[in-house]
Amino acid sequence: MSRVFILILTSYLLISAGDPVLKSDRCLTDNFAFNPGEEVEYTVYYNWGFIWVNAGRVTFNVFEKLFRNRPVYHFDSYGTTHRKYDWVFKVRDRFQSYVDIETFRPLWYEMDTYEGGFEARDVYNFFPEENLVITRTENSDKPLQIDTLEIETCSFDVLTAIYVARNIDFASYQVNETIPFSILIGNELFDLNPRYLGKETIVTREKETFDCIKFSVELVEGFIFTAGNEMFVWVTDDDNRIPVLVEAQIRIGSVKAMLHSYRGLRNPETARISPDKD
């Protein structure tokens, strides 16, 4: 579940890969969108037939730590179905990344997922000075595989990509503009072609209203996705860039994740429309 959600969220990074990502040792000129201590939680809904079911939660946290004797952001995301729905499609997903605070280059990434009986684990050790990453990947269908890959200076795992994306100047893109971008998933680089779709207003289940930026991206075929379908994402149109709603078709139906709660935001919520606003 959080694997689906994280892959959806990376779509809005891809629209603006050339903006914060530089041809230098620094992959982000300035982090203006988040601070350590931020926590954002989403409710995940599955659609079976004509019924939308509140099936689980996904949480994203930001911490500051030391890793390899350097200060890092520790991104930590955990997703789970509610236990009463485990018999239908049990999910226990966790993603973690350590990212150099100064350069915003990833140093380490781990994905450990269980989704409907399918288990997968990826571990990446990044060596940014050599532009190399050692990947250890395994899942229910494939035994452990260890590879050494050459990467560009600013190549990201999917979790780090989300936080890079939140520091993008979206105003520089036109409606329906697409930009190809490659991202590391498993031990492969994938090319995606996301499309900027303009701005919309979204009302959450908690009756909060947000001015949002909307994107779509064509899905990469895999265990969960079917090639050719699109997924959609709406993020707040302010400096926080918080995803508010994501929607996608998956092999077992449809899934959407909606913003449930948040704390520790870095910036004022200028995209949040108060109830008394005209």
Q: pLDDT tens digits for 13-67?
A: 444 334 444 444 667 668 899 999 999 999 998 887 677 889 899 999 999 999 9
Using the predicted structure, report yes or no on whether residue 205 has a pLDDT greater than 90.
no
Which pair of structure tokens corresponds to residue 72? 């890092």
- Selected residue with higher pLDDT from 138 and 195: 138
Q: Per the domain annotation, does 126 fall within a domain? A: yes
Q: Per the domain annotation, does 258 fall within a domain? A: no
User: What domain range includes position 129?
Assistant: 2-193
Which pair of structure tokens corresponds to residue 140? 């229910």
CA distance readout (Å), 202 to 54, 98, 228, 269, 270: 18, 32, 26, 14, 14
Q: Per the domain annotation, does 270 fall within a domain? A: no
Q: Per the domain annotation, does 202 fall within a domain? A: no
Nearest to 237 by CA among 183, 168, 190: 168
Residue whose entry in the numeric block shows the structure tokens 């995301």: 77
What confidence score (pLDDT) does residue 188 get? 76
- Selected residue with higher pLDDT from 111 and 116: 111
Q: Full-prediction pTM beyond 0.75?
A: yes
Mean pLDDT of 226-232: 65
What is the average pLDDT value for the chain, to the nearest integer? 81
Q: Per the domain annotation, does 186 fall within a domain? A: yes
Q: Counting every residue, how long is the chain?
A: 278
Q: How many domains does the chain have?
A: 1
Q: Per the domain annotation, does 36 fall within a domain? A: yes
For the stretch 86-113, pLDDT in tens is 887 888 999 999 999 988 889 999 999 9
Using the predicted structure, report yes or no on whether residue 272 has a pLDDT greater than 90.
yes
Q: Per the domain annotation, does 138 fall within a domain? A: yes
* Partners of 214 in beta bridges: 198, 234
